[in-house]
Amino acid sequence: MKLLLLNPPITRLERYGADIGNIAGSQMPLGISYLAAFLNKHGFTCDILDAEHENLSHQAVISGLGESAPDIIGITSATAAIQSAVKLARNIKEAYPEKKIIIGGPHISALPAETMKEKAFDVGVIGEGELTFLELAGAIAEGGGLDGIQGIVYKKGRDIRINQPRPRMENLDILPPPVRHEFKKKSYSPPLGSYRRIPVYNIITSRGCPYNCIFCDKSVFGSQYRAHSPEYVVSEIEELIGRYGAREIAVLDDDFTLDKNRLFGILGLLKKRRIRVEWSCMARPDPRNIDLLKYMREAGCWHLSIGIESADSKILDSLGKGTSREGVMSFIKAAKKAGFKIKGFLVLGNPGETKESIEETISFVRTIGIDDICATLTTPFPGSRLYREGKRYGNIAHEKWEKYTCWEAVFVPRGLSPDFIRESQHSLYKKFYTNPRIIFGHVANIKTLHSLKKYAYTLFKTIPFLRKTYVGIK
């Protein structure tokens, strides 16, 4: 039996909006890559199509199905892409009514019954996909029933059935490394400023986050932290260097520093095996992690992404971050002293946000010495606590899922307007990136012709954005 796993068509402008859609980074779809590797290992023939990255139309995807002839088509979809996934599924059913269409990913995991009302979806996979999809594909191949398969939602007559949840995988090392050969020649790259060398390959070494941020959806991986062993991680890095020619690694874990013993195990193996490669990761800006910085830098880590979110203490408490303004400042100071470049993630328009708290955040970010920012707008993703409780704090636009991109003001706290939130975001970007220190820092980061071209293109595309006028922000 032949399978196809795909990301549905959605343009960068649709995903990120007009302001940054043309300059946003792109990375390999590791979710379906892990799933394909696992299914191939267990006897299926599984192909991958990243229609988003390849900028394919719906019709182009449909036309390609005639050549590849898969029996089962798995579509993964986040909330912002679910309308595209629905459209694609309808088109596939119209052209190939005999094919089974499986929907997976964050959106259906958060809203299984609602999503399965779409007639074109045959079955939905809730949560982690590997074990569930393997059992489901086997049942479909053998013509068996679905009643006993954990972790799925499906239709039975006029009813929508949600089976018992599947326990999340304890030992991640049973997973083979994700399929990457199909993407080897495609031009994936993280956001500009987040890498130095190409090719750069992304990896995920853990699943689950134990923290309780109000805006996070944990429907897929949950709150229980699970991780690959140091041996697995370092062997995967070795394969990326030896087989794929990787010159840099981007670690995409929610918090690579969460398990210090495991981290020191990874760093020790990199040293023991004499692996020298530059890498970046996401880290929690907690003073308790300061003692890690020296060893991470010595092992080749040069770039840290940290979640700042807000400079207002009350906002941080309402978000459930478990961090403080003072702790963030201490971490940044230590990281800069150790030689790291730092990218700060911020969220504007949070519950309880005021004009004063936003202005405080803008001022804070400009003075703490970080090198890059990603300032998104508060988005109440299905599955998050904010989605369930958001109406207590403001207004939520529930019905236009295509707006749930983190770049649209779909949540507006009481006392503010969508225009003010968007103008605040524009003002923050403008004030941050017109700072001479930031400009010269990025100029110094240009080390290759590829980097020069990327920066020139980015500058050309962002001039209209930086020239916008703003209301209410000094």
**Assigned CATH topology for domain 189-466:** TIM Barrel (3.20.20)
Residues 6+ apart with CB under 8 A from 459: none
Contact 51, 8 (CB under 8 A): yes
Q: What is the pLDDT of residue 335?
A: 97
Contact 29, 7 (CB under 8 A): yes
DSSP string, 279-334: EEEE----GGGHHHHHHHHHTTEEEEEEEEE-S-HHHHHHHT----HHHHHHHHHH
Digit-by-digit pLDDT tens for the chain (474 residues) are 899 999 999 876 676 665 555 556 678 899 999 999 999 999 999 999 999 888 899 999 999 998 788 999 999 999 999 999 999 999 999 999 999 999 999 999 999 999 999 999 999 999 999 999 999 999 999 998 999 999 999 999 889 999 999 999 999 999 999 998 766 556 677 777 788 888 899 999 999 999 999 999 999 999 999 999 999 999 999 999 999 999 999 999 999 999 999 999 999 999 999 999 999 999 999 999 999 999 999 999 999 999 999 999 999 999 998 999 999 999 999 999 999 999 999 999 999 999 999 999 999 999 999 999 999 999 999 999 999 998 999 998 767 899 999 999 999 999 999 999 999 999 999 999 988 888 887 777 776 666 676 666 566 556 565 555 444 443
| Residue whose token pair is 């007559």 | 157
**Which structure tokens are listed for 63?**
């036309």
How many Å apart are CA 4 and CA 14, to the nearest integer?
Answer: 24
Range 2-162: architecture per CATH:
3-Layer(aba) Sandwich (3.40)
Q: What is the pLDDT of residue 459?
A: 62
How many Å apart are CA 69 and CA 92, to the nearest integer?
Answer: 12
Q: Measuring CA to CA, which residue among 344, 334, 351 is closest to residue 295?
A: 334
292, burial (CB in 10 Å: exposed 0-12, middle 13-18, buried 19+) = buried
Q: What is the pLDDT of residue 398?
A: 65
Domain positions in the chain are: 2-162, 189-466
